[in-house]
Amino acid sequence: MRRLFVTKGCIKIIFKYIVGISTSLILFGGHQMIVGIAYMIGACLCWGLVFVIPNLFPDFSPFEIMLGRCFFYGMLSIGILLSLKRDLIFSLNRRIWIAGAILALVGSLIHYCSLVLSMRYVNSTIPTLLLGLTPVCMILIDIRKTKTKKLRDFFVPCTLILVGFIFVNIPTLAWDTNVSIENYAWGFFWSLVALATWICFIAGSANFLKSTSSLKASDWITVLGVATFLWTVLLCTSSLFFVNTSINHYFIMSNGFLLATALLGVCSSWLGYYMWNQATLRLPLSLAGQLSVLEIVFGLSFIHLANWKFPENIEILGIMTILSGIVLNLFMFQESAYQS
């Protein structure tokens, strides 16, 4: 009961800090900032589902979960393409389709398959919090791209995020005796792959969309979905020859699994990617990357709700430390925006 009281107090403090800083940014940035932050929160809420749904279906392999998500994402995109955007088939040049195919392979297939693999070797906390390093990586990318900011200016907030990551991992490292060192190493490796592919996807997608002014965000998401579907069909066909699985296996899946992967495909893929691209069109890439830490907060919340488990005090401290780093980054962004 005491821990619950302390946790509620901490959550209230965090909420007040976030609301205060966000309000200042909104008042300074105007309508575009309001819409951008709203899109970013919505995208993180959708992406938070990807951390909890795979654990609800342990009988299905990471490959099957990835294919299910990509299949429904691709089917939705093809439906939109044929019914509402038929002119896109011939109006878009080859450069856009090639970029869509590459980013779809990296972001939709390799990323999510490696993410689910990491969660099979260890629990969801490790990959969830490792992906929490996304804001740090986005800051480094923005510094290298703009060359107007210095790394030392972000040393303190980045350190807070890294320390928070360590705090949240302490319960898993100290008390989870079911995870061997070998499994933890493999889980950590696949989490790193998931992080690398995720950074490549979101940064590459945002930069490509900004550099192609004639391409709408909804059209770009549709292109990614169609490319994802083509990759999915290719992988499904190949698996029939190289994997000991009959084609009937794909028609006896449970309704719950199909509904869950459909939710991932529609919500976490199409809707999440769409809102991310809308946010990056209105916000600097570094700020959007910093706000993406809300994906981790939502992911951890969904995990604890699914397990009916209350977070440990050290986990709460870690989350507070991570959010403190993000809030400090927002302060710095507000100050630099005011000076400019």
Task: Identify which has the larger pLDDT, 206 or 154.
Answer: 206
Contact 203, 141 (CB under 8 A): yes
CA angle 105, 110, 112 (to 5 degrees): 115
Q: What's the total number of domains in the chain?
A: 1
Stated pTM of the model: 0.75
String of DSSP letters for 11-56: HHHHHHHHHHHHHHHHHHH-HHHHHHHHHHHHHHHHHGGGGTGGGG
What pLDDT score does 105 carry? 92
- Domain range enclosing 28: 2-339
What pLDDT score does 6 carry? 47
Task: Identify which has the larger pLDDT, 274 or 176.
Answer: 274
What pLDDT score does 284 carry? 76
Choice among 42-56, 214-228, 232-246, 298-312 with the minimum mean pLDDT: 232-246
Please give the Cα distance from 111 to 117 (Å, whole number): 10
Of 265, 189, 255, 254, which Cα lies nearest the Cα of 232? 265
CA angle 54, 324, 264 (to 5 degrees): 20
Average pLDDT score, the chain: 76
Q: Which residue has the tokens 């090639």?
A: 98
Q: Is the pLDDT of residue 47 over 50?
A: yes
Q: What tokens appear for 235 in the block?
A: 């992988």
Please give the Cα distance from 319 to 163 (Å, whole number): 10
What pLDDT score does 179 carry? 65
Where are the strands (E) in 43-186, listed by range? none
Mean pLDDT of 93-107: 90
Q: Is the pLDDT of residue 175 over 80?
A: no
Task: Identify which has the larger pLDDT, 249 or 285.
Answer: 285
Type of residue numbered 277:
N
Mean pLDDT of 249-278: 81
What pLDDT score does 25 carry? 54
Mean pLDDT of 273-296: 79
Choice among 140-149, 243-252, 256-265, 295-304 with the minimum mean pLDDT: 243-252
